[in-house]
């Protein structure tokens, strides 16, 4: 998406149609999670195409065991921070567990809050054919929707934990049909999580809308990672997450140095104190 490279004076906002155009040109889409203003500003400044305010904030920042306890109010709080700090990237907000499944109307009411109160430009929620009517209602009323297939964290209790999805011909066919149903309902992109690479490649080929992979191999139209995994902040990262930094090590070193200097009286020194 090189033609959307921002300039300090006038960055060009990434819109949903830019992602489809990128797929048509064969250009890869970059996507990261973001949960606060400082990290969102950094990821936006370097030209990340999409920032996902994921319900992954539950197990990455709130200390929850999973994404399931995350509330709508928590998502709105974090989405507002990310949207306020972002000038170029498309900001997508997850609809958390329990906030959309009951009916298309419930999904619509939650999505409206994400756009009106939080400033998101699109929403994402999990499921295939079972949520096609939800997608159809939202998109028909002007709310862009990103789908999410494969391993769906909100359903991990049904799926039996964090397991690769779509293995075997029958499961692969179901997943492909779910992807087509989301496209036909109006979704502008689909996240494929923990899906065998050949299946992800097949779905990417049959869809006109972009696929965004996470643990789905190299053939998707774009990739997303949870940013603490990407930057090496997490104490543990999934097998598919490559670390592009070592922030945990850097913070450990900085915190140890701070503690040492405070305890020995080296900080604050004259340079960091106010004179008379």
Q: 83: helix, coil or strand?
A: helix
Mark out the alpha helices in 6-131 (DSSP H runs): 16-25, 37-45, 57-60, 72-85, 104-116
Residues 34, 71: Cα–Cα separation, whole Å: 17
Q: How many CB atoms lie within 10 A of CB 270?
A: 6
Structure tokens at 98: 């329990």
Given 193, 205, 261, 271, the catalytic residue: 193
Q: Can you name the residues that pair with 89 across neighbouring β-strands?
A: none
With beta carbons less than 8 A apart as the criterion, state whether 155 and 194 touch. no
Q: CB under 8 Å to 42, separation ≥6 — which residues?
A: none
Q: Can you name the residues that pair with 223 across neighbouring β-strands?
A: 30, 213
**Known catalytic membership, residue 21:** no
Q: Report, as residue numbers or ranges, the catalytic residues.
A: 193
């Amino acid at each position: 998406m090189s033609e959307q490279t921002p300039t300090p004076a006038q960055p060009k906002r990434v819109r949903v149609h830019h992602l489809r155009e990128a797929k048509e040109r064969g250009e890869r889409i970059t996507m990261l999670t973001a949960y606060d203003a400082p990290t969102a500003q950094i990821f936006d400044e370097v030209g990340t195409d999409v920032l996902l305010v994921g319900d992954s904030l539950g197990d990455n920042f709130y200390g929850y065991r999973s994404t399931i306890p995350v509330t709508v109010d928590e998502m709105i709080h974090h989405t507002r921070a990310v949207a306020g700090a972002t000038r170029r990237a498309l900001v997508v907000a997850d609809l958390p567990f329990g906030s959309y499944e009951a009916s298309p109307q419930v999904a619509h009411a939650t999505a409206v809050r994400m756009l009106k109160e939080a400033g998101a430009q699109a929403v994402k929620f999990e499921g295939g054919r079972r949520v096609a009517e939800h997608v159809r209602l939202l998109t028909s009323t002007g709310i862009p929707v990103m789908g999410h297939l494969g391993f769906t964290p909100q359903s991990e209790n049904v799926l039996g934990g964090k397991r690769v999805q779509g293995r075997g011909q029958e499961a692969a066919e179901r997943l492909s049909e779910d992807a087509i149903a989301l496209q036909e309902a109006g979704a502008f992109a689909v996240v494929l999580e923990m899906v065998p690479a050949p299946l992800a490649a097949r779905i990417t080929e049959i869809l006109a809308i972009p696929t965004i992979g996470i643990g789905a191999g190299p053939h998707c139209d774009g990739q997303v990672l949870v940013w603490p995994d990407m930057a090496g902040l997490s104490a543990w990262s999934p097998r598919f997450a490559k670390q592009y930094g070592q922030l945990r090590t850097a913070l450990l070193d900085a915190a140890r140095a701070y503690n040492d200097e405070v305890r020995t009286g080296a900080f604050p020194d004259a340079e960091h104190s106010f004179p008379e």
